[in-house]
């Protein structure tokens, strides 16, 4: 195997023998703790936080404790294969990088560093609609490695179509429509700091780099200007908006007013709570790529996804950032797997923190697993290398769990490998 777990493990121990400890922590709790030191207060709140009391985040984790793996012995696991095939593409391990927006909050290179790390392993990277770098910049560093695009359905169908066309040109092999964020959840930590990065022009690079969005900025102002107190903070915010807007000439950018209009236009259009199942036909007309729905938690919605001709679903509660007190994704999985009956791939994310979590989700019917916050913590600590290390740790942990449980490959990870705890 190209990315063998024992080799990676040996490297860590041999480094230790030479007195070199891992820069990127292995333990997920320590990883978060260490990453926090590399982030501003606002960045940490934005990345780590969830909605309301954050009980969904807790549930996501606790759901994994409801199952135990029951290892089998003497199974000859000397030859192991952790690869899977998704939409015709072979990937070395059943992981994907879930879309995470506004990565510039944790590292200067943001999405591009993640793209490089993902490409060096061949793990698919799902570009976020709220990325800090245009999708073209990420695609440019990925060679032929798999990448998907995640879309938020905005109020402009022309913009939706433009994003999808760009994604196709960028070599994306699937479109993920995130359904659970028609509005921002009640994110306690961000509200406490009264901080939303988009208002500073962060996380809107897909928009400002888009020709349709640029045309929308030429349209007459559709908002009544609101009188706000001018403070040092608001001047800094304006400075940030202008800095983030494409182009090098700061003064010209400031004078044109487009940077401010871009933020206003973005906040007015970024999502459309009126979207329904019937709107998905529009997307189907605009792309031949597989379309997946992200945010599915109810078996009836999974059935509908199949009835409406969608090609996959992502069971996700957005890492607990949208509905507080929501069902955990692992708790939602068995009933969904039961109705999907392997007709379309099921990806699961939210709360995945190690190889055993991935094993349990696969055993209960997931096809692949999305990693969220942990790779962002790796990015905060050590940029591209940090993301790479987090991915290798996940892959090694998973491979060892699979083998030590007695499975040679993914097909052997079945529900019988688990016991439900009382």
- Residue in the structure block whose two tokens are 């290798």: 392
Q: Which two tokens stand for residue 89?
A: 């593409």
Q: Which residue shows structure tokens 């040092």?
A: 232
Nearer to ligand FNR, 350 or 367 (CB): 350
Residue 250 CB contacts under 8 Å (≥ 6 apart), including other chains: 242, 243
For residue 352, state whether it binds ligand FNR (rule: CB under 6 A). Answer: yes
Stretches 117-125, 207-215, 253-261, 344-352: which one binds ligand FNR (CB under 6 A)? 344-352
* Nearer Cβ to ligand FNR (101/124): 101
Task: Give the contact letters, 242-281, x = binds to ligand FNR (CB under 6 A), - = no.
Answer: ----------------------------------------
Residues 123-142 that bind ligand FNR (CB under 6 A): 128-130
Least separation in angstroms between CB 151 and ligand FNR: 9
The DSSP call for residue 409 is B
Closest CB to ligand FNR among residues 244, 258: 244
* Most distant pair of Cα atoms in the chain: their distance: 73
Rounded to whole angstroms, the Cα distance separating 391 from 382 reads 13
Q: What length does the chain have?
A: 422
Q: Considering the complex, what minimum distance in angstroms separates the CB of residue 304 from ligand FNR? A: 19
**Stretch 359-378 residues interacting with ligand FNR (CB under 6 A):** 372-373
Per-residue mark of binding to ligand FNR, 301-330 (x: CB under 6 A): ---------------x-xx-x---------
| Contact of 35 with 375, CB cutoff 8 Å | no
DSSP string, 166-198: HHHHTT---EEEE-S-SS---BHHHHHTT--GG
Answer for which of 294, 360, 392, 417 binds ligand FNR (CB under 6 A) is 294
- Catalytic-residue membership of 318: yes
Answer for the pair 210, 163: CB distance below 8 angstroms, yes or no: yes
Residue position matching structure tokens 């706000």: 228
User: Which residues are the active-site residues?
Assistant: 318
Site of interaction with ligand FNR (CB under 6 A): 46-47, 98-101, 128-130, 150, 178, 294, 316, 318-319, 321, 349-352, 372-373
């Amino acid at each position: 195997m190209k990315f063998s777990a024992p080799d990676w493990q040996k490297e860590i121990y041999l480094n230790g023998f030479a007195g070199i400890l891992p820069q990127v922590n292995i333990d997920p709790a320590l990883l978060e703790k260490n990453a926090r030191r590399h982030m501003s207060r606002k960045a940490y709140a934005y990345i780590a936080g969830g909605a309301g009391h954050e009980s969904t985040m807790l549930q996501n984790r606790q759901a994994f404790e409801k199952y135990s793996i029951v290892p089998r012995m003497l199974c000859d696991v000397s030859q192991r294969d952790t690869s899977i095939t998704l939409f015709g593409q072979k990937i070395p391990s059943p992981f994907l990088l879930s879309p995470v927006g506004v990565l510039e909050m944790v590292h200067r290179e943001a999405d591009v560093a993640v793209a490089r790390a993902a490409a060096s392993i061949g793990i698919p990277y799902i570009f976020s609609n709220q990325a800090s770098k245009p999708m073209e910049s990420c695609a440019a560093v990925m060679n032929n490695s798999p990448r998907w695009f995640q879309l938020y359905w905005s109020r402009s169908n022309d913009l939706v179509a433009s994003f999808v066309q760009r994604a196709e040109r960028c070599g994306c092999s699937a479109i993920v429509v995130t359904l659970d964020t028609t509005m921002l959840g009640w994110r306690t930590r961000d509200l406490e700091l009264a901080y939303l990065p988009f208002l500073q022009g962060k996380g809107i690079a897909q928009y400002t780099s888009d020709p349709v969005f640029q045309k929308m900025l030429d349209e007459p102002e559709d908002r009544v200007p609101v009188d706000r107190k001018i403070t040092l903070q608001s001047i800094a915010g304006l400075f940030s908006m202008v800095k983030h807007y494409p182009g090098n000439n700061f003064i010209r950018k400031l004078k044109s007013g487009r940077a401010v209009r871009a933020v206003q236009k973005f906040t007015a259009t970024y999502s459309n709570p009126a979207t329904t199942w019937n709107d998905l036909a529009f997307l189907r007309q605009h792309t031949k790529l597989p379309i997946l729905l992200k945010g599915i938690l109810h078996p009836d919605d999974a059935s509908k996804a199949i009835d409406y001709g969608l090609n996959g679903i992502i069971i996700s509660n957005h890492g607990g950032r949208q509905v507080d007190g929501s069902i955990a994704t692992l708790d939602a999985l068995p009933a969904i797997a039961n109705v999907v009956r392997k007709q379309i791939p099921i990806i699961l994310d939210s709360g995945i923190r190690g190889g055993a979590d991935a094993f349990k989700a696969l055993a209960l019917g997931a096809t692949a697993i999305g990693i969220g916050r942990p790779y962002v913590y790796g990015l905060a600590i050590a940029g591209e290398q940090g993301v790479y290390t987090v991915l290798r740790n996940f892959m090694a942990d998973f491979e060892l769990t699979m083998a030590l449980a007695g499975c040679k490959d993914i097909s052997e990870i079945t529900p019988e490998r688990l016991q439900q705890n009382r």
